[in-house]
Amino acid sequence: MSTKKPAKDSVYPQPGSSSAAHPENAKTTDLAPDTVDASGAYMNTNQGVKISDDENSLKAGNRGPSLLEDFILREKITHFDHERIPERVVHARGSAAHGVFKVYESQAAVTSAAFLQDPEAETPVFVRFSTVAGSRGSTDLARDVRGFAVKFYTQEGNFDLVGNNMPVFFIQDAIKFPDLIHAVKPEPDNEIPQAASAHDTFWDFISLMPESAHMVMWVMSDRAIPRSYRMMEGFGVHTFRLVNAEGVSSFVKFHWKPLLGVHSVAWDEAQNISGKDPDFHRRDLWNAIESGNFPEWELGIQVVPEEDEHKFEFDLLDPTKLIPEELVPVQRIGKLTLNRNPDNFFAETEQVAFHVGHIVPGIDFTNDPLLQGRLFSYTDTQLIRLGGPNFHEIPINRPVVPVYNNQRDGHMRQTINKGKTSYHPNSLGGGCPFLAGKMEGGFSSYPERIEAHKIRERSRSFFDHFSQARLFFNSQSEPEKNHIIDAFSFELGKVQTVAVRERMLRILAQIDSGLAAQVAYALRLHIPKDTDEPLNKSIPADADPAAYQPEMKESTLAVSGALSMANTPKDTIQTRQVAILAADGVDAKALNTVKKALLAQGAVVEVVAPRQGYVIAENDEQIPVDKSFLTGASVLYDAVYVPGGVNSVATLAAHPDAVHFLNEAFKHCKAIAADEAAQQVLEATYFHKKLPADNEEATVLASGIAIHDKPGKLADLFILAIAQHRFWEREVPRKIPA
Ligand code: HDE
């Protein structure tokens, strides 16, 4: 097939990306023969015939009708007509990257998985991040869960860890998943709203299903509006099993811990970014990798010995519960590094097929009923999305080990299987392919003992819906709590049906009375009391509704520090985006000093000016401009600096866009720095009355605003402030007109 052959003079891997600089691994080598570069090649048809005219179809006379025999036109248009495949039913919007995983030291004590044994061995990975509810073209900044799906191409076959950026889920049983997704997706009559949960059907469903209480606390928290995919945690959610070479099994929760800390944007900012740059997260991931700032996470595991299964006050099989890190610490066992952007979005990011059921020896499932249902769904969905049973042959999906079995044929089969036998047992094919025993690495399921009745029922151990929702709320910092209150007030404020709002207030009252009261205040509603209505409406026909009501329990832990983003590292400004506001007459020396210091710490610095092109500095130096006030916006940066220079300062102080830029940066709690000579610009802002009294380090760290007459010292203070990420305390007055 012509598409599988390298074009003449082609170079592998594709030139022009940092990818090319990265050493080969088993997966990049595997992808190379399928990667095509047209540099220096002639255009030809899919049948390999060179094309001389790609501008005109074949016609009967130059004004006449097109001819059916024009095989070049027909082929081109036909292929175009069939370019689209169905988008993912959930997680349609996403971005992905290649990378590698390395374990720090052998995990043989708990698992026999080969990729978790040798610290020298590098396992290639492909990771896709996503939102859940929106369509393929929707904004990256939706308030939503983020998918965090990792495909490990191990020497024992593919292991997919298909997780999210939140450690729990909305529902306990897979049978409710279509209902949940139907409720959150745009409403079916008018297909409104896109990529948003702030509408009646979602909250109608949630308010009838108290088991979702813990998860909605996470979704209403800032975790749902990450600053970057590179600054999110990841979680396997379910309890899985690890099994060692002796067959000893333990329970495990998987975590991903980002080395850049966990950070979010402000909700007002998120909504603005959705307009200014809906590809914000996609661009951020792409740019970081292209510029060699490879995103990194540590893989963490919480291991629970098999015999401790029932030692917790929640059920390990219940996916609406997490294991607090205070009870079982997260051991960091290895590092994931994303180091290469895909060459082709469709071929790789769109066609990658993850499946929670892709496991390798040493890892196994548990009876979590959500996990069990997922085991069916993921292959099934690829059959419609990728068109047939051979999707495992698509280059991005195939393992780095050869595949030998007796599965044959089907749509688009690529493999040419030799021989007469496609059955087992056989003698005509020498008995091949052989079965592998334990010694040869054959997979065998953990022989869990089960003695039970076949029954449609939920375990009583799944009925505590509020204690961990409360633990989560209690563990948040004050600003994080305020954001959760605001998020509920926003979302329920968009709900038209008052009964749904009220029902949700009743659920919130079970979690925290203060939370419920504040949301009720914002909605000007009362929390319904003295009602006989059951809280849980998700009840089988013949069941006693009373038996299905939540159990009111209190977690023995009052708070869990790991649940708050405020407690994650704030020690770096690497890859943070800093805007320098400048106009003609800017002080080039100050600008360059601060810029150099920021770059040295790994920040990304852009000059934003009234016009595109360049500004002419006080000393006549031409300073390139990256964005104008039309193409740049405060919401696209983490921090802003205003250098001195008499004319520049006068221009910016009188420029509404510059002043708006600063007001918005203040409103979104970002670090702001100015030369003392630029103070006039800050005086023109709304926050001029809140400028700090001095430039002591403690004052700057409290206010997030640094003003200094020495650019070197200013840079030092600014860097400390940017590393703090945001100064949420500023939000309290919430009266900034930007
Ligand atoms: Fe998924 N989910 N899911 N999910 N999921 C899909 O598979 C499903 C769940 C997650 O980047 C689909 O290939 C069911 C939990 C991610 O390609 C589909 C249930 C978690 C991705 C599907 C769940 C996830 C998906 C749609 C309840 C976190 C994107 C397209 C039983 C642990 C993977 C596809 C990517 C995608 C079904 C619940 C994570 C339909 C039935 C819990 C990250 O198969």
Nearest alpha carbon, ligand 1 atom 19: 374
Alpha-carbon span 595 to 719, nearest angstrom: 11
pLDDT recorded at residue 6: 41
| CB 490, CB 235: distance < 8 Å | no
Q: Residue 706 — φ and ψ, nearest 5°?
A: -120, 130
* 12 token code pair: 């592998």
Does residue 437 belong to any structural domain of this protein? no
Of ligand 1's listed atoms, the one at least distance from the Cα of 238 is 32
Asked if residue 583 and residue 557 are part of one domain, the reply reads no
**Residue where a domain stops, chosen among 528, 543, 566:** 566
Alpha-carbon span 96 to 114, nearest angstrom: 25
Which residues make beta-bridge pairs with 164? 147, 235
Give the pLDDT confidence of 212-263 residue by residue, as tens digits.
Answer: 999 999 999 999 999 999 999 999 999 999 999 999 999 999 999 999 999 9
Give the pLDDT confidence of 500-558 residue by residue, as tens digits.
Answer: 999 999 999 999 999 999 999 999 999 998 888 999 999 999 999 999 999 999 999 99
Nearest alpha carbon, ligand 1 atom 29: 91
Does residue 88 belong to any structural domain of this protein? no
**Residue where a domain stops, chosen among 364, 393, 422:** 393
* 357-371 average pLDDT score: 98
Q: Residue 158 — φ and ψ, nearest 5°?
A: -80, 135
Q: 164, 165, 341, 663: which one is catalytic?
A: 164
Give the C-alpha distances (Å, rounded to integers) separating 630 from 270, 587, 626, 661.
19, 23, 11, 11
CA of 590 to the centre of ligand 1 (A): 51
* 613-635 average pLDDT score: 98
Does residue 456 belong to any structural domain of this protein? no
Asked if residue 605 and residue 579 are part of one domain, the reply reads yes
Per-residue pLDDT for 735 more than 90?
A: no
Nearest alpha carbon, ligand 1 atom 16: 147
Token pair 């049906």 is found at 497
Per-residue pLDDT for 10 more than 80?
A: no
- The DSSP symbol for 147 reads E
Give the pLDDT confidence of 174-227 residue by residue, as tens digits.
Answer: 999 999 999 999 999 999 999 999 999 999 999 999 999 999 999 999 999 999
Which helix (DSSP H) or strand (DSSP E) does residue 723 occupy? helix 711-723
Per-residue pLDDT for 7 more than 80?
A: no
Give the pLDDT confidence of 50-78 residue by residue, as tens digits.
Answer: 999 999 999 999 999 999 999 999 999 99
Pocket of ligand 1 (CB under 6 A): 88-91, 94, 128, 130, 147, 149, 162-164, 169, 174, 177, 237, 352-354, 370, 373-374, 377-378, 381
User: Which CATH number belongs to the domain containing residue 631 in this structure?
Assistant: 3.40.50.880
Domain containing 524 equals: 461-566
* 709-714 average pLDDT score: 98
Alpha-carbon span 572 to 576, nearest angstrom: 9
Give the pLDDT confidence of 627-657 residue by residue, as tens digits.
Answer: 999 999 999 999 999 999 999 999 999 999 9
User: Is 456 annotated as a binding-site member?
Assistant: no
Alpha-carbon span 357 to 191, nearest angstrom: 32
Alpha-carbon span 640 to 577, nearest angstrom: 9
Asked if residue 145 and residue 273 are part of one domain, the reply reads yes
Per-residue pLDDT for 19 more than 70?
A: no
Does residue 504 belong to any structural domain of this protein? yes
Per-residue pLDDT for 732 more than 90?
A: no
Does residue 447 belong to any structural domain of this protein? no
Of ligand 1's listed atoms, the one at least distance from the Cα of 380 is 44
Confidence grade of residue 267 (pLDDT, cut at 50, 70, 90): very high
pLDDT recorded at residue 733: 54
CA of 176 to the centre of ligand 1 (A): 13
Asked if residue 470 and residue 371 are part of one domain, the reply reads no
**Residue where a domain stops, chosen among 544, 566, 588:** 566
Per-residue pLDDT for 464 more than 80?
A: yes
pLDDT recorded at residue 277: 98
pLDDT recorded at residue 531: 86
Asked if residue 575 and residue 562 are part of one domain, the reply reads no
User: Is 128 annotated as a binding-site member?
Assistant: yes
Pocket test for ligand 1, best of 173, 359, 378 (most atoms within 8 A of CB): 378
Asked if residue 366 and residue 251 are part of one domain, the reply reads yes
CA of 173 to the centre of ligand 1 (A): 14
What's the chain's Rg over C-alpha atoms?
Answer: 29
User: Is 470 annotated as a binding-site member?
Assistant: no
User: Which CATH number belongs to the domain containing residue 469 in this structure?
Assistant: 1.20.1370.20
The size of the chain, in residues, is: 738
* 275-281 average pLDDT score: 98
Nearest alpha carbon, ligand 1 atom 23: 374
Asked if residue 276 and residue 240 are part of one domain, the reply reads yes
Per-residue pLDDT for 460 more than 60?
A: yes
3-class DSSP assignment, residue 250: strand
* 95-102 average pLDDT score: 98
* 96-103 average pLDDT score: 98
User: Is 340 annotated as a binding-site member?
Assistant: no
Confidence grade of residue 18 (pLDDT, cut at 50, 70, 90): very low
| CB 297, CB 259: distance < 8 Å | yes
Pocket test for ligand 1, best of 281, 354, 358, 397 (most atoms within 8 A of CB): 354
* 709-738 average pLDDT score: 89
Distance from CA of residue 349 to its chain's centroid?
14
Q: 22, 25, 91, 214: which one is catalytic?
A: 91
pLDDT recorded at residue 731: 87
Alpha-carbon span 322 to 475, nearest angstrom: 14
Of ligand 1's listed atoms, the one at least distance from the Cα of 92 is 30
Asked if residue 236 and residue 157 are part of one domain, the reply reads yes
Does residue 423 belong to any structural domain of this protein? no
Instruction: Provide the sign of the torsion angle of the four alpha carbons 684, 690, 693, 695, taken in this order.
Output: negative
What is the ipTM metric for this complex?
A: 0.97
Q: Residue 237 — φ and ψ, nearest 5°?
A: 70, -70
User: Which CATH number belongs to the domain containing residue 268 in this structure?
Assistant: 2.40.180.10
* 669-697 average pLDDT score: 96
Pocket test for ligand 1, best of 215, 377, 392 (most atoms within 8 A of CB): 377
Of ligand 1's listed atoms, the one at least distance from the Cα of 373 is 31
> For the chain, what is the domain count?
4
Asked if residue 556 and residue 671 are part of one domain, the reply reads no
Asked if residue 583 and residue 544 are part of one domain, the reply reads no
Confidence grade of residue 17 (pLDDT, cut at 50, 70, 90): very low
Does residue 544 belong to any structural domain of this protein? yes
pLDDT recorded at residue 21: 53
Asked if residue 300 and residue 212 are part of one domain, the reply reads yes
Confidence grade of residue 20 (pLDDT, cut at 50, 70, 90): very low
- Active-site residue, 91 included: yes
| CB 232, CB 258: distance < 8 Å | yes
Alpha-carbon span 653 to 634, nearest angstrom: 16
Which amino acid, 622? Q
Q: What is the mean pLDDT of the chain?
A: 95
Nearest alpha carbon, ligand 1 atom 44: 378
Asked if residue 577 and residue 544 are part of one domain, the reply reads no
Does residue 431 belong to any structural domain of this protein? no
Of ligand 1's listed atoms, the one at least distance from the Cα of 377 is 44
pLDDT recorded at residue 734: 56
The four Cα atoms 471, 476, 482, 485 give a dihedral, to 10 degrees, of: -30
